[in-house]
Amino acid sequence: MVTASAPGKVYLFGEHAVVYGEPAVPCAIERRATVTVTERSDGLRVQADDLSLNGFTVEYEGKATDRPDIDVSESLVDAGMGYINEAIEQVKDATGAESVGFDVEINSQIPLGAGLGSSAAVAVAAIDAGTRELGVELQPEEIADRAYQVEKKVQDGEASRADTFCSAMGGAVRVEGDDCRQIEAPELPFVVGYDGGAGDTGALVAGVRRLREQYDFAADTVEAIGDIVRNGEQALADGNVEELGRLMDFNHGLLSALGVSSRSLDAMVWAARNGEAHGAKLTGAGGGGCIVALDETAESLTAMEYTPGCEQAFRAELDTTGVQMEAE
């Protein structure tokens, strides 16, 4: 039995545009998914807690046929189970152990589909725990690449390397196509608001793709997000939190124009801004889930707590530790 954990993330800038080769800057946060893997003779049994309000338990051979009873959409159920299936396939590929079975237990502080990188963190931690259970230790960069293959398969080729690289490496990272690297970042005063919902990443990414193919101005909007990221990198290097906030505001506006925001996300963004945050934006695929704001004070946190549609608001520290083994 081996247990590994990996952090979730928030996007300072760049989600959706990163799928088209534009840069993105996600930051790991101290909310982690923990995965325990135990070898068994055959089959796969998965127990997942706290991925949603109820968690789920399902036992199956090979591909899943049973339906776990959880309070999220069927597409998210399929995706959540798909990430686990594909992570186990990566474990088998990395170790050459094709016929082995596993018990997998997942405990996550990261809501499923909320834009905080739950799927990436689970895939990263599962690959690390599974390979270690079979006596193989992978470097974080290889775990990141294998977890990216998981997301790419589940998301029908629409994934970027941003989430999985950030989760595997920790800290702040810059991703542009296949160019992934860690970057320096000051302590940032993250405040996260969560509406209790979840977006369908695949559907949202596909929607942006359709807009981009149909309208030149939508393609220009995606490129403009890339320009925001490049300006944001300089603000990050300078430790200029006020400029970071202004650019986050621009980024949210462009994401909203691409149709990936929602009434609850917009309400939390405006609550944070009215609470004197330096800036605020949705984080992740959108459609529901989380926003991230920059605010050293308690004002935006309090404002979001009193905003209709905000189920939870909390501070989130930058997590400089990526994937790690917790126990064996």
Q: Which residues are catalytic?
A: 163
**Residues 60/66, Cβ–Cβ less than 8 Å:** yes
- Give the Cα separation of 18 and 160 in Å (integer): 6
What is the sign of the dihedral through the CA atoms of 240, 242, 246 and 248?
positive
What is the sign of the dihedral through the CA atoms of 8, 201, 108 and 46?
negative
- Give the Cα separation of 13 and 153 in Å (integer): 24
What is the sign of the dihedral through the CA atoms of 76, 80, 83 and 86?
negative
Q: Quote the tokens at residue 83.
A: 């990430």
- Give the Cα separation of 155 and 4 in Å (integer): 24
- Give the Cα separation of 150 and 81 in Å (integer): 11
- Give the Cα separation of 291 and 247 in Å (integer): 15
Q: Where do we find the tokens 């049973």?
A: 66
Q: Report helix, strand or coil for 260.
A: coil
Q: Which positions ≥6 away from 251 have C-beta within 8 Å?
A: 13, 14, 225, 228, 281
Strands 2-13 and 324-327 come out as antiparallel
- Nearest residue to 68 (alpha-carbon basis) of 238, 197, 82: 82
Torsion of CA 202, 206, 207, 208, to 10 degrees: 110
DSSP state of 195: -
